[in-house]
Structure 1
Amino acid sequence: MHNDIHLTMATWDYDHVRDIASGQVKAKGIEITHLQMEVEEIFYRFAKSFEWDVSELSFAKYCSIMSQDNPPITGIPVFISRVFRHSAFYIRSDGSIKDSSDLKGKRVGIPEWSQTATVYARGWLHHQGGARLDEVEWVQAGVNKPGRVEMANLNLPDGVSYTQVQDKSLVDMLLAGEIDCMISAHPPHEFETGNPAITRLVPDFRAVEEAYFKETGIYPIMHTVAIKRDVYEEYPWIARNLMTAFEEARDRSVARLTGVTASQIPVPWGYVNAERTAEMVFGNQGVWPYGIESSRATIEAFLQYCDEQGVTHRKLTPEDLYAPEAMSEFVI
């Protein structure tokens, strides 16, 4: 409608967001131009230049920005991507590393200190894995190619060893024995193409992740939704309206995933597995819930990790993160 405001929004292609991108789900009062790109490009361009109004954003980068003075963004507690990251540790098949505790005193490669996956991975190592933050030499570089740079303004704690390498990739260093392990959300190319020299540190990661969840209640949030602060301040009502649209798009996606009339998701017994897994992880909170309360244990743990690791510049609480309009819901 001609009275709607126009916003640009960038996300990757998710089934639970797709209906907003296609226009089948509409945020009240908002006309959205959707930009679909790879998440790495979205994060880089938005964190660097804030090129669009609403953006999917790495949870760690979001928290880092929100912990600094006068943050240029706010957001809504929509958790577009959630992934356990025990599968993200890669080692040499012929190396001496056999267990996470073996990483004590070793060199571990990471794509960025402030990458959300590495924050969770370091948190697990520090608290459950037997290798404290200051007992590892951390090496930052691109995963498959040299030249990746750190995008966040860091506040590294005393005693932490952190070296940036610009002329080599993590894969190159792992294969050459210059690092003992690498952490990457995206599997390294050599692993994807079947190079037997690289394997996972945690090959049975599904069982380990289930045990970790039962112990901690943490289901890692990877990406959230940010809004440029100047846009939000001009139209504060967009926070709740966008939240509602994301919830509707998610509900439509869940209906496709769990429907039995026809196989909209091409996985045998996919609907059964989806329901069982969702019940195990979310209980009676519904499939893939948004909002703080349903994910408070995860958010509080992540903010603790961010504080311990110097990703944030002050200790945040979950209530510090999001626009207040998105934190409440009108109920009839």
Structure 2
Amino acid sequence: MTRLNLTLACWDYDRTRAIADGRVRVDGIDLNYVSLPVEETFFRMLRFGEFDAAELSLSSYCVSLARGDSPFVAIPVFPSRFFRHSCIFVSATSGIERPEDLAGKRVGVPEYQMTAPVWIRGILHDEYGIDPASPTYFTGGEEEPGREEKLKLDLPEKFRLVPIGSERTLSRMLADGEIDALHTARAPSSFHHSPHLVRRLFADPVAVEKDYYRRTGIFPIMHVIAIRREVYERNRWIAQSLLKAFVEAQRHTYEDLMISAALKTMLPWQIAAVEDTVRTLGEDWWPYGLERNRAALDTFLRYHHEQGLSARQLAVEELFAPETLEAFRI
């Protein structure tokens, strides 16, 4: 069989590196792995469909899917996951001491539809009773002015979004007290250079996140791998081929992280961190496939709908190529 030539855009993750460097080959495919920062990948794939397959924001993918004309189909591979309690920052002048104090406040978000703020708003609602429609959301560039939503949104009127324009940044506005809080995926620079003005909402976010996981079993999913639908429809077998390759590449990383003779990362207590992670999340702490991620995905899809980003709550099975669901039952 002639091998297909496909291009995949994805960040340089340890769990995908065996695909990028050729140690893991994709059945039937000669893969051109393009390593790009996630924001660039998202923009180029969502706006222009530049790649055959790419890492995508889970939220952006769901926005397109809920509209019924999605140009993508995903596989249940999650290159990015992150507990986001550590990503809520507050201004020293805001008077915010507890999560409940966020109600009715001025909250910055680089994009309302970003996956990280969707999780943050949902967790604040479930855990602390903060209605997602309660704050006013200020949207725009965190460090560079002029950022806009990658996808045009049609939200219910109860959600109030205020673009900050092309001259201001959320990081500076937070330090200056022009916004009370920031929901983000990256720590703002003002948190590092002005710690007297900007702090995390949770002083010990790791403890809060571990407690959250123990109670919910949810390790939040940020990104999926998505294939352009026209590429998938021509050769549906590539969904399962890609899935198998990502699973195999991840297996290499699990093994690498347990090697103690010579550490493969620059983390001095890497082995202790891995052992602690296994105690908390289990041996396969970054699972792929649908069933083991059903609770996390169901929760996210509920948040997505409750926050006005999808007109109906999507079903988990709608997210992924059917061939990949069968593969994980074997």
Category of TM-score, reference length = shorter chain: over 0.9
SS of residue in 1 equivalent to 2:256: helix
> What code does the residue aligned with 1:305 have?
Y
Distance apart, 1:94 and its partner CA: 4.0
The answer to whether structure 1 residue 319 and structure 2 residue 303 are counterparts is: no
Query: Is the Cα–Cα contact under 8 Å of residues 301 and 313 in structure 2 kept in the other structure?
Result: yes
Residue identity opposite 1:124 in structure 2: I
C-alpha distance in 2 between matches for 1:313 and 1:54: 26
Q: CA deviation at 1:261?
A: 3.8
Please state how far the C-alpha of 1:163 moved relative to its aligned partner.
Answer: 1.5
Letter in 2 for 1:220: P
Higher deviation after alignment, 214-223 or 108-117: 214-223
Deviations 1:77-101 (A, max 9, x none): 0010100001111112343111111
Where 2:76 maps in the other structure, the secondary structure is strand
Distance in 1, matches of 2:311 and 2:63, equals: 7
CA distance in 2, matches of 1:20, 1:54: 14
**In 2 relative to 1, CA 330–135 (structure 1 residues): closer, same or farther, beyond 3 Å?**
closer
**Residue correspondence of structure 1 range 7-22 to structure 2 within 5 A:** 7-22=6-21
- Give the Cα separation in 2 of the matches to 1:106 and 1:269: 39
Residue by residue over 1:96-147, the C-alpha shift from the partner in whole angstroms, topping out at 9 and shown as x without a partner, is 1111111112111100011000000110122212321122111111111221
Change (3 A) 1:260 1:177: closer
For residues 129-173 of structure 1, what are the alpha-carbon distances to aligned partners after superposition, in whole Å with 9 as ceiling and x for unaligned?
232112211111111122110112324234222222213211232
Between the aligned partners of 1:279 and 1:3, the Cα distance in structure 2 is: 45
Q: Letter of the aligned partner of 1:91 in structure 2?
A: V
Q: Distance in 2 between matches of 1:111 and 1:331?
A: 38
Counting only pairs closer than 5 Å after superposition, residues 74-153 of structure 1 correspond to structure 2 as 74-153=73-152
Matched ranges for 1:151-300 at <5 A: 151-167=150-166, 168-281=168-281, 283=282, 286-300=284-298
Which is further off, 111-120 or 166-175? 166-175
| Counterpart residue identity of residue 277, structure 2 | T
Residue 106 of structure 2 contacts residue 137 of structure 2 at CA under 8 Å; is this kept in 1? yes
Deviates more, 1:262-271 or 1:162-171: 262-271
**1:79–1:224: 8 Å Cα contact kept in structure 2?**
yes
Contact 1:100–1:130 (CA under 8 A) maintained in structure 2: no
What SS does the aligned partner of 2:86 have?
A: helix
Q: 1:260 to 1:172 in 2, by over 3 A?
A: closer
* Shift in alpha-carbon separation, 1:319–1:97, aligned structure 2, 3 A: same
SS at structure 2 position matched to 1:149: coil
* Offset of residue 52 of structure 1: 0.5
Report the number of matched residues.
329
Give secondary structure in 2 for the equivalent of 1:133: coil
Cα deviation digits, residues 249-279 of structure 1 (max 9, x gap):
0000110001234322333342342133134
Amino acid at match of 1:229: R
Q: Report what 2:307 is aligned to.
A: 309
Distance 2:217 2:135 in 1: 26
1:56 touches 1:226 (CA, 8 Å); kept in 2? Answer: yes
Structure-1 separation of matches of 2:182 and 2:279? 33
If the length of structure 2 is used for normalisation, what is the TM-score? 0.95
Q: In the superposition, relative to structure 1, how do residues 175 and 193 fare at CA in structure 2: closer, same or farther (>3 Å)?
A: closer
Contact 2:93–2:180 (8 Å) recurs in 1: no
Q: CA deviation at 1:197?
A: 1.4
CA distance in 2, matches of 1:31, 1:170: 42
Residue type at the aligned position of 2:96: I
**Is the 1:139–1:165 contact (alpha carbons within 8 Å) kept by the matching residues of 2?**
yes
Instruction: Say which is worse superposed, 53-62 or 92-101, in terms of deviation.
Output: 92-101
Whole-Å Cα distance in 2 between the matches of residues 263 and 316 of structure 1? Answer: 42
- Once residues 322 and 4 of structure 1 are traced to their aligned partners in structure 2, the CA distance between those partners, rounded to angstroms, is 24
- Measure the CA separation in 1 of the matches of 2:83 and 2:315: 22
Mean Cα deviation higher: 44-53 or 269-278: 269-278
Gap runs ≥5 in structure 1: none
Matched position secondary structure for 2:233: helix
SS of residue matched to 2:226: strand
Q: Say what the alpha-carbon RMSD is for the aligned residues.
A: 1.7
* Corresponding residue SS for 2:214: helix
Q: Secondary structure at the match of 1:135?
A: coil
CA distance in 2, matches of 1:263, 1:150: 40
| % identity of equivalent residues | 40
Say which is worse superposed, 140-149 or 150-159, in terms of deviation.
Answer: 150-159
Provide the C-alpha distance between the structure 2 equivalents of 1:279 and 1:70, rounded to a whole number of angstroms: 42
